[in-house]
Chain A
Amino acid sequence: AQSVTQLGSHVSVSEGALVLLRCNYSSSVPPYLFWYVQYPNQGLQLLLKYTSAATLVKGINGFEAEFKKSETSFHLTKPSAHMSDAAEYFCAVTSSGGSYIPTFGRGTSLIVHP
């Protein structure tokens, strides 16, 4: 079985501040990990994914995430928040040799203050 926990349903930052969105996963086999973003009235869009090539993954819009096996984490970061980053962010997991249907976390709403 696989699961994802996103700590904090809402994260509030000031424009220009560091963004840190937390994701912890549970998987009995090596995982594949994804971060998706959802803007209002839109579907989800891939930000980045970890497929075991490199532990530090760079994505679109200046976001990156680091896979830490020892901590079972895949936190999403961005050095400087922009107003346009305000959205809902979802972490998801699949697993090699297991289900290819992603299990999504509950999502974290990022609020960016001017």
Chain B
Amino acid sequence: KAGVTQTPRYLIKTRGQQVTLSCSPISGHRSVSWYQQTPGQGLQFLFEYFSETQRNKGNFPGRFSGRQFSNSRSEMNVSTLELGDSALYLCASSPIAEPQETQYFGPGTRLLVL
């Protein structure tokens, strides 16, 4: 099976712009989670979607949003970008939403905000 894919891999934006990142999970996986990774804060959970419904949300401002489509592909959007949004954004998928399930990560999208 193909792994989790994320597009684009690299992105440069300026403050105030908005950005949309895409994630295609492993075929058959219904749960998709998004994380922000920075050197200062580590891995922080953004949100999780299961069967097109947001079931969990981390402690991020409303500028961060996401959605999941019927084919389980997911997008996340960040509006009004700030310098502090520069990070590696990781998407992970799992077959079902259970605590013992492994998270399968994509390579990430590295966002630089200037």
CB-nearest residue of chain A to B56? A101
- Contact, CB under 8 Å: B100 / A94: yes
- Contact, CB under 8 Å: A43 / B100: no
Q: Does B108 belong to the interface (CB within 8 Å)?
A: yes
- With A43-B90, A43-B108, A44-B90 in contact, is A101–B102 under 8 Å at CB? no
- With A43-B90, A43-B105, A43-B107 in contact, is A104–B43 under 8 Å at CB? yes
Q: How far is the CA of A20 from the CA of B92 in the complex (A)?
A: 27
Contact string against A for B residues 89-105, beta-carbon threshold 8 Å, 1 for contact and 0 otherwise: 01010000111111111
> What's the tally of chain A residues with a CB closer than 8 Å to chain B?
25
Which residues from B are CB-within-8-Å of A96? 99-100
* Additional pairs, 8, CB under 8 Å, beyond known A43-B105, A99-B56: A34-B103, A36-B103, A42-B108, A49-B100, A90-B43, A94-B100, A95-B99, A107-B42
A-B contact pairs, 8 of them (CB 8 A): A34-B102, A44-B90, A44-B92, A44-B105, A95-B99, A96-B99, A98-B99, A107-B42
4 closest Cβ pairs, A-B complex: A43-B105, A94-B99, A100-B99, A104-B43
Which residues of chain B have a CB within 8 Å of any CB of chain A? 4, 33, 42-43, 45, 48, 56, 90, 92, 97-108
